[in-house]
Structure 1
């Protein structure tokens, strides 16, 4: 898959353009000029954290470097899970009838406005079910909708597919909500076990979720450019057709490669395993999703040859995840060992009252997330500090946890890491969507802060 070439021009305001449209145009142009590649951002953040950590601990530079090196591979297993999730999901999506189904849904977007809204809503539904699944669904929908609607601005479509990341903490795969609902979680002695009815299924969470679900697509439509529309090249995702050899010319080895029997047998074993696990009350997690995607792909591709080809094509867009995740794991380790993360959290907690604690928790979580974009890793860093401080003020621990979750999801909009799989699949760079994501991030921050003030 070749990268999409986007030629941005200076977008001068036109008559009839709203302030939001003008702002989006200027920010889009600015980000394309000045926002570097996501890997450069990861390296700059690493150096920034090192500098602050050395300043805070001038006598212990070797300990800081050691913590970075030790933490570099902390999320190696999770990285592999994400890689497999993307590859198996895209391989499954390349099954012919799956593509036809997605194309049928994409036909509903017969105007640019409907294109942005449909892409956002389908992606949001997937995010609510499982954030990992949403990365695959969002990429496919943005591509198919763009192919069906050349009048839609492709970078904004991609931003619309990514925007529901701000809703992730209210979904069924909320890492913090599910963690504190688990018996013997690492903060159980401090805050107890909090059922999901008090976190992701609480009235306040649902109100915030629905408010963002309704208003974000409105903002997306309002910031849509009126000129210099960049559409997706129809030839961008064309694939070379692979013709199956005639049966009489197949060697024994080729028969094994092209027979559907092997894929069906192995895929059926995987599906049976998934059914067995769910029947024994296993919760939805990355491992079970990966096995399900892999097994279903084997069942539906028709042969091991077709599956292997689809798998190979999908792997071309996953390299940024493999490259950058260890750097962010190292940053999280330095934040913990140097006291920098604790300093940010404790400073905000010290100026908060009982009524404002959750809002300051939300803001601090958003700030920490820019340096450590991992919900589970952030809760491990922030929870032990935030929860005791809030309990002293009489704050409900369930709202503290959700405030951290909302903050973690909030600044994902401008932290490029979680956009990497989506961008890799669609052939874009973070600079292509950052201008739009920045405006959405401001909106989400305002709406969530105001609602938390009244609801928490």
Structure 2
């Protein structure tokens, strides 16, 4: 039954859901219109906030671009590629393909969400190559869906923020240790429940007919050397010697090790320099490394184009009052026992418009925390409810799917039908569990 529902929903979504960039523009216009209706006397304020906010994510956009490119370049190193091929070969049936993809990516998400973006994108492509009986859109959904687990992981933006000394809400809620947020019994229970049940739902959604296997993207042929004399020039010798890459990569890895020794946690910058250094170290030459980087570059255009629009939307949510209206509306009907549920739901709604854990906490935290604490709700519970809500609707928000879709060459419409059903399951299960464990 679920397979039939998923198949019909997927076909419907593919027919009516536009490209992710169109969705970003439609969301921008929607927030503009609502903001204008709310404050008809101040349209120029909305225009200014959008324009000012448009460039806020430039550094983050570049981090994500480098994360994908350095990860893909590292994956093209011969022995790394063979390792991925060996792992992918374990998925010799469709169900094994879905479960392996979900499990490996979920573990990566628990360690670090930035690492998981690359692991999921590369692994799903390798699994798809070797299992032509697996439905590739569902396989991609299996690689993307563990995004709902990151809020309970080691790189949880909200969990780590409230545990940081002098964070922006410290005077209101204090500093909350991770033992009360990401490592609490309640969080672990929800994490395990989702980790164990989501692969089952994915397998039940697998189509029996009209299976679409992985299709390799066309790659432009590499330039061939034609001049025998040119191959021996000093310039080409520098391009082909492995020594330069080894020395540069070694410097980068020494930096990474030193940072970890001095207590630095995983973040996008450290992952990027680690991937870049490993790629330089293991590729046979700087010329080969450059060619691999060039091939990876084509996958990043959707990120460069769309991330600034979402930065502008987040700014609009704040200046228009729409974000506050959503949060206040749900908080007004909650009591002490249901506040975490309404916080979870409101965070899910806000995340559809402002898909950034840190950005959403900056918008929602100052409103949600005082209201909950006035009812006697534990601030750690409020923080995790916002985190779970933020992660929940990532399933149906194109923003975080862009990296993996860019790598595998699919559109959001190809996976959204499956992600929508998973979002229903995740939302229902998490809501029920929150009633008992928080």
Aligned to 1:304: 286
Aligned to 1:295: 277
- Aligned pair partner of 2:35 in 48, 53, 57: 53
Aligned to 2:171: 189
Aligned mates of 2:105, 2:359 — CA distance in 1: 24
**Superimposed CA distance per residue, residues 10-32 of structure 1 (whole angstroms, 9 cap, x where no aligned partner):** xxxxxxxx2x1111011110011
Aligned mates of 2:366, 2:376 — CA distance in 1: 16
**Superimposed CA distance per residue, residues 72-112 of structure 1 (whole angstroms, 9 cap, x where no aligned partner):** 11111111111111111111111111111011011111111
Aligned to 1:415: 397
- Aligned pair partner of 2:49 in 58, 67, 74: 67
**Superimposed CA distance per residue, residues 289-309 of structure 1 (whole angstroms, 9 cap, x where no aligned partner):** 111111111001121111111
**Cα offset, 1:173, TM superposition:** 0.7
Aligned mates of 1:247, 1:180 — CA distance in 2: 63
Q: How does 1:395-434 map to 2 (within 5 A)?
A: 395-434=377-416
- Aligned pair partner of 1:389 in 356, 363, 371: 371
Q: How does 1:50-129 map to 2 (within 5 A)?
A: 50-129=32-111
**Cα offset, 1:430, TM superposition:** 0.3
Aligned mates of 1:396, 1:247 — CA distance in 2: 74
Aligned mates of 1:198, 1:392 — CA distance in 2: 20
Aligned mates of 2:219, 2:134 — CA distance in 1: 20
- Aligned pair partner of 2:315 in 330, 333, 349: 333
Which segments of 5 or more consecutive residues in structure 2 lack a partner in the other structure?
none
* 1:224 pairs with 2:206: yes
Aligned mates of 1:239, 1:112 — CA distance in 2: 30
Superposed structure 1 runs of 4+ greater than 4 Å apart = 237-248
Aligned mates of 2:247, 2:290 — CA distance in 1: 16
Aligned mates of 2:387, 2:150 — CA distance in 1: 8
* 1:212 pairs with 2:194: yes
**Superimposed CA distance per residue, residues 6-56 of structure 1 (whole angstroms, 9 cap, x where no aligned partner):** xxxxxxxxxxxx2x1111011110011000000000000000000000010
Aligned mates of 1:50, 1:421 — CA distance in 2: 27
Q: For the structure 1 residues 396 and 258, does the alpha-carbon distance in structure 2 shift closer, same or farther, using more than 3 Å as the test? A: same
Q: How does 1:151-170 map to 2 (within 5 A)?
A: 151-170=133-152
**Cα offset, 1:183, TM superposition:** 0.8
**Cα offset, 1:265, TM superposition:** 0.6
**Cα offset, 1:168, TM superposition:** 1.0
Aligned length: 437
**Cα offset, 1:247, TM superposition:** 10
Aligned mates of 2:224, 2:279 — CA distance in 1: 19
**Cα offset, 1:240, TM superposition:** 4.5
Secondary structure of the residue that 1:431 maps to in structure 2? Answer: helix
Aligned to 1:10: none
State the TM-score, normalized to the length of structure 2.
0.98
Secondary structure of the residue that 1:343 maps to in structure 2? Answer: helix
* 1:313 pairs with 2:295: yes
Secondary structure of the residue that 1:120 maps to in structure 2? Answer: helix
Answer yes or no: is the 8 Å Cα contact 2:106–2:146 preserved in 1. Answer: yes
**Cα offset, 1:249, TM superposition:** 3.5
The two structures, once aligned, show a CA RMSD in angstroms of 1.4
Answer yes or no: is the 8 Å Cα contact 2:394–2:400 preserved in 1. Answer: yes
Q: For the structure 1 residues 238 and 39, does the alpha-carbon distance in structure 2 shift closer, same or farther, using more than 3 Å as the test? A: closer
**Cα offset, 1:241, TM superposition:** 6.3
**Cα offset, 1:236, TM superposition:** 3.3
